Structure 1
Amino acid sequence: MNLAPEVTGFYEKHTGSVQYVVACPETKHCAIIDPVLDFDEKSGATATIEADRLLRFIEERGYQLKWILDTHPHADHFSAADYLKHRTGAPTAIGEKVVGVQKLWKDFYNWPDFPDDGSQWDRLFADGETFMLGHIPVRVMHSPGHTLASVTYVIGDAAFIHDTLFMPDSGSARADFPGGSAHALWHSIQAILSLPEDTRLFTGHDYCAGGRAAAWEATVAEQKATNIHISRLLTEADFVAAREARDRSLPMPRLILQALQINTNAGRMPQPESNGRSYLKIPLNLLQSPWA
């Protein structure tokens, strides 16, 4: 049996995000992972350019879409999961700890009636849960740290590691969002690096370090040997100290307050108001000030 899925990455330059179509080569069953809904923060305009690109690719390849998977509620782009579900009928899924993120942000946005039970998705995956993508087994790993809800999808010989590790020249992801933890991130990274050495690891973002072309794939062995954080910060204490120091120097993502409204709601837009228009809500003085 071929346990190597066909993996195609689609780079979204505006947010540095990588979206994936992952397919069983024998059955042509596929999943979309972390799809992006286009959003221009200056005009407030949304579009489905990226999501439609994924759908065209799936049609061209003759794939059958079986899952729309998010690894976590993203803070830097909108999820296109709801749009894709309405276009295709494929079920949406995320890790079950998303309910903890919903509870946090429900309070931040003062949404007393917002459902915080994960019911916006068709499936909530528990740590260690398995399912099949065609003939290829999929295992879900809870990988908290960047967020408390993050999961890794291990699909055959490939693992989709979202915002834990970046490419080796870029290190690891930040862990200072509400519910994040550098200690938890360390343990999640160690679990990912305990996968077989030749496992292909696919990142959720790339920021083109040093001006190189976008890249998003490295093996476990390559990450262990050359990742600028993991190969140098060899203890949990050293990693946490370096990660927390780095995080204190970083500005908040420019879309975090907009994106979490959409992504804690499975990619749904806010309900239109009486004039037929949807609005985003921005809590003032919630997150750390850039002047602090």
Structure 2
Amino acid sequence: MVIAYAREHLGGTVRSRQGLERDLDLRCLGFLPPLQQRWRRKPLRFWLRQPTQRGILLAGEKDPSCAGEALIGLRLALDALRDPSSGAVSIGITSAHSGEGKTTLAFNLAKSMADAGTRVLLVDADLHGLSLTRELAPQSNRGLPEAHRGTFSLADVEPVPALGFPVLAQPLDRVPRRPDVLSSRQMREMLDAARSKFDYVVLDLPAVLEHVDACAAAIHLDFFVLVAEWGRTKIADLEAVSARCDQITERVVGTFVNKVPRGSGWY
């Protein structure tokens, strides 16, 4: 009991919806359960084992009340903020630290939007991790560098047949490492070019406390979703995200908690 109390009250990590919303004054948009144990080592590779049939799912469609409804709820929350007359809405998915589930959410949010008939583009903007590129399109020869130079438009990205929506991956042999790429005028022009073809542009961004890229991109994005991991992400880290970049704080729609175990009080 003492250990449980210490973990709950002295650890300072995200463990309850009420505590998260109270401490950060941010709406909790939903949660996702942990991946099945056999998927933990290489989750994306396992998710894609049957892409032509079902697309990518999380803790298994055996529990749609958790994963499926959480994603639908997040999508509806974003729909409520969108002005259809303004074209595509850009959404940055980020977290305090890497490994907390931002790429998981970015992919599955885009999939949920596409399944609902929404025109969505998924962008691998995590130039330090490139998880989406390595798992979805490792042979890609066009991406952010070409779009940044103006030789390739986001509006020209074709849907991935196995997924049903387009993914802007990065050529692994020429990844731009400078964070100012995401804050540049060309980045703004790229997003403007996508407004006529898409309803949403979902960007998987690097972790805020590890790299400056997300802060650099904030001036061009409409909204942010901040991902936290149950039992790992500290409230202090989420507060540090707000302190580090005011532009992210001003655009954060809410938080989304990943890897929430059963029996934790969230269900």
Q: Shorter-chain-normalised TM-score: which range?
A: 0.3 to 0.5
Q: Which has the higher contact order (CA 8 A, sep 6+)?
A: 2
Q: Select the structure that is richer in helix.
A: 2
Q: Would you tell me which structure has more strand in proportion to its own residues?
A: 1
The TM-score normalised by the length of structure 2 is 0.34
TM-score normalized with structure 1 length: 0.32
